[in-house]
Structure 1
């Protein structure tokens, strides 16, 4: 572990906007931001030494809660970021500070003791994350044996497995996850580059899993897959395809603090991010389902 970035090997991500505007799309009561990261300060929560980037100092819990208030969002799911590896300390402290309106997705060692799983569950953790994108080792490879092992450990708790993956790299993922012990959750609309279109075999496999009630997708991070500037018009077809396929298996998230985004494109304002929902999920009743009912079911909000 190291408390400071190590030069070019782990550059700082750009900070999020702190002047978050109120969105034009009014979000319903008990809306949930189902994908966000809370980071630092680095002297208290040191990063994993072998990371590929470092979080900006502004990506702290105070600023995140201010962003939620500006959007009118009451619930949140904190996801363990890659730069903390399997040290969930910052995540757990964030959950404790936010209380009953927060849930967490942790990163675990394969040999995590059962007592630790029970402690994490009591703290509000509801899933375990595997990242095969923002890593130096194991990039683009699904470790199915490991996934099955960990899923069998967390299934009795009602947890799910969250995968940061490009589904286009796995055209037979519905076959690979047949009989999997838990639900799976995939971020960033499947993380398919927009140029591949919704006819991509991996994207279709994800939608088959969703129709079968075995997978969920997060409407997050359009800037990660779009070839266009905000409002990312080339992503609309992906959102509509997911809504048409299985609206009951969708949740939305801000992807705050948008780490790595402005290395290539301008940092988005979270009010603009929220307003994309008006185009992506056009029916207000379905929008409420995605923002309120679905995350309550997936993450156990009462």
Structure 2
């Protein structure tokens, strides 16, 4: 059962910066080989987010739709641009006029996914960063932590904000003092952004519990608390139906390790508002 905002005590204007929207396959065709997510349409998300006390939303284009953002764009329109933003999948970059149209529709970033074992394409990232900078967008980069450690120094010099996804996806055996992890902490200290999401990728037993990652979270906050954001990663598309986490419990575990009301407001309200262009919450 979803907890309420009263129990979670989220600050006014709390923002989820990472969830995916799915829709009717007849209207939004999936890419070959991709599986649908049940109970993951925009109305499902709205009900779930409202139950948690989340008031602002940044949707990340689901890889199931390839380069077609229409399902996500319709979700943004359903909520309204005063409450919702979106991040499109990297690929063939649209022309200037098309990017202007996406910006008007609420898009504020471009997503890069680099699966384990694939090289991080700095050339593609730089090209996208140059285009994104023209619109005040950011880039969202997801890769495995050790690979990220090798390119963080290059990412620091991109012309738009770079957000590293899912706490850098370091495996459970990597400590907060490991060289690759410290390189990512340095990236945040030097102006980079980090997203606290999907803790199950880094916990020893795959639990969706930020308590087990408190040393990592605190290292990022100490490096640059004004550049740390949070995302729910709903509906957790890489996990099977029987292993979907309790989002209320996950969020409660994050609140438990944030060390002050100022940190909670920074991570949940002020930082995403600044990065994605929401009106500051009062």
TM-score when scaled to structure 2?
0.92
CA, structure 1 residues 245+113, in 2 after alignment: closer, same or farther (shift >3 Å)? same
Correspondence 1:204-283 to 2 at 5 A: 204-213=182-191, 215-228=192-205, 229-231=207-209, 233-262=211-240, 266-283=243-260
Aligned residue number for residue 160 of structure 1: 138
Q: Is the 8 A contact 2:197 2:233 kept in 1?
A: yes
Aligned match of 1:293 in 263, 267, 270? 270
Q: Is the 8 A contact 2:148 2:168 kept in 1?
A: no
Deviation at 1:149, TM superposition (A): 1.2
What is the alpha-carbon distance in structure 2 between the residues aligned to residue 29 and residue 218 of structure 1?
20
Aligned match of 1:47 in 1, 18, 30? 30
Aligned residue number for residue 190 of structure 1: 168
Paired residues in the alignment total: 276
1:71 aligns with 2:52: yes
TM-score when scaled to structure 1?
0.86
Q: Unpaired segments of 5 or more residues in structure 1?
A: 1-18
1:117 aligns with 2:95: no
CA, structure 1 residues 122+232, in 2 after alignment: closer, same or farther (shift >3 Å)? closer
CA, structure 1 residues 186+274, in 2 after alignment: closer, same or farther (shift >3 Å)? same
Correspondence 1:99-114 to 2 at 5 A: 99=80, 100-114=82-96
SS at match of 1:33: strand
1:129 aligns with 2:107: no
Aligned match of 1:176 in 154, 158, 166? 154
SS at match of 1:254: coil
Q: Unpaired segments of 5 or more residues in structure 2?
A: none
CA, structure 1 residues 178+293, in 2 after alignment: closer, same or farther (shift >3 Å)? closer
What is the alpha-carbon distance in structure 2 between the residues aligned to residue 160 and residue 202 of structure 1?
23
